[in-house]
């Protein structure tokens, strides 16, 4: 029998919530973090979504790059008995990248040369996948410090979530020995780029960073030269963190057809990358409603009058249509994703407060 999501996550140190836009990734990540804290764990809840949604979901005015402990008083409205703790943070990709350079630079001179370089300052936005890489690099660091015994990552809405998985690989490509040999050849990059021999290098740089900042690149490369070995090692360590058996990918979807289609496509990309799903959360579903037979309709009509009874019955029919639609979506997900732990989280009332909502979702996910 398939294990429950709670049983699967009990063995994992890292949980990465992925899925289409707007399906409830942030809500699910926060609820999983709370659910794990209710089981006594010390949890870091990390988001790379620059919008303030995680802070909002946690009823906080803001979150920063530093882990912030959520007090039991603040979390009281969740109604959860939190034996552990939750620390929440929003990744600032730029700062995290600077921290990485600071760690990897062999000395202060090298660090200053890199940090003050204009290309470097553009880098976190310019290198394809660097934002995602930074997130995973931060996970790696949080994991290595052993300050937390679980880390939950909320990912941003992404059309192409594969970018996220390929980020370490792309950064490795950027620092790849062959690439750099071309760029850092003794003749100097300026000379090479000016001459015909530079054309392939030029095309390569454009390909790798996706923008044309060539004038500054030579300076950047000589500045960053001393860090390359460290970056390479870090990128491969980070890549292997994604493959680690203690890392769990949890797919969040809603039962509507478009998110279902995206989730199925993404799950197959994950599988192809050797990163099987550890769980599926179908969020905001409409539970099945009992069929009304003629006798019930007549009894209802007798009790509250025909006009009101008609309204009630019409509402019941609408609920049935939504529930039937959701069953179709859930079935498609189950068929495509196979035997993974699955949790259905119903559409909750909109009148609940943020923390009440999180508590309710946490109880559904990790009962």
Ligand X SMILES: Nc1ncnc2c1ncn2[C@@H]1O[C@H](COP(=O)(O)OP(=O)(O)OP(=O)(O)O)[C@@H](O)[C@H]1O
Q: Which residues bind ligand X (CB under 6 A)?
A: 21-27, 49, 53, 156-157, 283-284, 345, 347-348, 357, 361
Nearer to Mg ion, 25 or 111 (CB): 25
Instruction: Report d(CA 1, CA 88) in Å as an integer.
Output: 34
Please, what is the minimum distance in Å from the beta carbon of residue 29 to Mg ion? 8
- Least separation in angstroms between CB 149 and ligand X: 24
Sequential DSSP letters for 280-336: EEEEEE----PPPPHHHHHHHHHHH-HHHHHHHHHHHHHHHHHHHHHHHHHHHHHHH
Nearest CB to Mg ion, comparing residues 26 and 117 = 26
Q: Which CB, 41 or 53, lies closer to ligand X?
A: 53
Return the residue nearest Mg ion (CB atom).
26
Which of 76, 26, 74 lies closest to 52, judged by CA?
26
Choose among ligand X, Mg ion, none what residue 305 binds, the Cβ cut-off being 5 to 8 Å by kind. none
Distance CA 108, CA 277 (A): 42
Closest contact distance (angstroms) between CB of 228 and ligand X is 34
Residue 23 binds which one of Mg ion, ligand X, none, with CB within 5 to 8 A depending on kind?
Answer: ligand X
Query: Pick from Mg ion, ligand X, none: which does 284 bind, CB < 5 to 8 A by kind?
Result: ligand X
Among 5, 20, 26, 96, binds Mg ion (CB under 5 A): 26
The CA distance from 259 to 22, in Å, is 9
Residues 6+ apart with CB under 8 A from 292: 300, 313, 316
Nearer to ligand X, 217 or 260 (CB): 260
Angle at 223 between CA 222 and CA 225, to 5 degrees: 60
Shorter beta-carbon distance to ligand X: residue 85 or 154: 154
CA angle, corner 100, sides to 95 and 101, nearest 5? 95
Residues 294-333 that bind Mg ion (CB under 5 A): none
- Give the list of residues 6+ apart from residue 2 with CB closer than 8 angstroms, or none: 339, 340, 341, 342
| Region near Mg ion per CB under 5 A, out of 23-31, 38-46, 230-238, 249-257 | 23-31
Name residues whose C-beta falls within 8 Å of residue 263's C-beta, 6 or more positions apart in sequence. Answer: 19, 20, 251, 253, 280, 333, 337
3-state SS class at 62: coil
Binding mask 49-88 for Mg ion (x = CB under 5 A): x---x-----------------------------------
**Which residue lies nearer to ligand X by CB, 156 or 341?**
156
Q: Please, what is the minimum distance in Å from the beta carbon of residue 327 to Mg ion?
A: 26
**138 contact, one of Mg ion, ligand X, none, CB 5-8 Å limit per kind:** none
336 binds, among Mg ion, ligand X, none (CB under 5 to 8 A by kind): none
Residue 156: count other Cβ atoms within 10 Å of its Cβ.
18
Question: Which residue number, 17 or 171, has a Cβ lying nearer to Mg ion?
Answer: 17
User: 208 contacts which partner out of ligand X, Mg ion, none, CB within 5 to 8 A by kind?
Assistant: none
d(Cα 243, Cα 269) in Å, to the nearest integer? 14
Q: Give the nearer residue to Mg ion in terms of CB position, either 41 or 53.
A: 53
Distance, CA of 332 to CA of 336 (rounded, Å): 6
d(CA 234, CA 144) in angstroms, rounded, equals 12
Q: What does 158 bind: ligand X, Mg ion, none (CB cut-off 5 to 8 Å by kind)?
A: none
Residue number, 185 or 352, with CB nearest to ligand X:
352
Q: Which does 6 bind (CB under 5 to 8 A by kind): Mg ion, ligand X, none?
A: none
Q: Which two tokens stand for residue 279?
A: 């769980």
Least separation in angstroms between CB 284 and ligand X: 5
Stretch that binds Mg ion, among 21-29, 132-140, 214-222, 270-278 (CB under 5 A): 21-29
Distance CA 21, CA 40 (A): 31
The Cα 302–Cα 9 span in angstroms is 51
Residues that bind Mg ion (CB under 5 A): 25-26, 49, 53
């Amino acid at each position: 029998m398939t294990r429950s999501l709670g049983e699967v996550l009990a063995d994992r140190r890292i949980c990465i919530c992925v899925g289409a836009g707007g399906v409830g990734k942030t809500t699910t990540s926060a609820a999983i973090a709370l659910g794990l804290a209710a089981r006594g764990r010390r949890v870091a809840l990390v988001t790379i979504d620059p919008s303030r949604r995680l802070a909002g979901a946690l009823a906080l005015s803001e979150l920063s790059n530093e882990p912030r402990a959520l007090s039991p008083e603040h979390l009281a409205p969740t109604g959860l008995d939190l034996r552990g703790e939750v620390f929440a943070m929003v990744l600032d990709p730029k700062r995290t990248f600077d921290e990485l350079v600071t760690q990897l630079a062999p000395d202060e001179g090298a660090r200053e040369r890199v940090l003050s370089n204009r290309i470097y300052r553009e880098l976190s936005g310019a290198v394809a996948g660097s934002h995602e890489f930074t997130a995973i690099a931060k996970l790696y660091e949080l994991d290595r410090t052993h300050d937390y015994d679980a880390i939950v990552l909320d990912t941003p809405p992404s059309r192409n979530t594969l970018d996220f998985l390929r980020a370490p690989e792309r950064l490795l490509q950027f620092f790849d020995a062959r690439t750099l040999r071309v760029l850092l050849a003794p003749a100097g990059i300026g000379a090479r780029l000016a001459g015909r021999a530079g054309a392939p290098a030029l095309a390569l740089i454009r390909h790798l960073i996706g923008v044309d900042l060539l004038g500054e690149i030579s300076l950047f490369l000589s500045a960053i030269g001393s860090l390359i070995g460290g970056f390479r090692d870090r990128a491969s360590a980070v890549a292997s963190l994604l493959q680690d058996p203690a890392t769990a990918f949890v797919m969040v979807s809603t039962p509507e057809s478009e998110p279902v289609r995206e989730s199925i496509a993404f799950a197959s990309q994950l599988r192809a990358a050797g990163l099987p799903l550890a769980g599926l959360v179908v969020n905001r579903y409409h539970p099945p409603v009992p069929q009304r037979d003629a006798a019930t309709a007549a009894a209802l009509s007798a009790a509250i009058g025909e006009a009101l009874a008609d309204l009630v019955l019409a509402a019941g029919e609408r609920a049935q249509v939504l529930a039937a639609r959701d069953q179709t979506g859930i079935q498609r997900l189950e068929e495509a994703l196979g035997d993974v732990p699955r949790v259905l989280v119903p559409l909750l009332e909109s009148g609940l407060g943020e923390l009440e909502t999180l508590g309710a979702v946490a109880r559904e996910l990790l009962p």
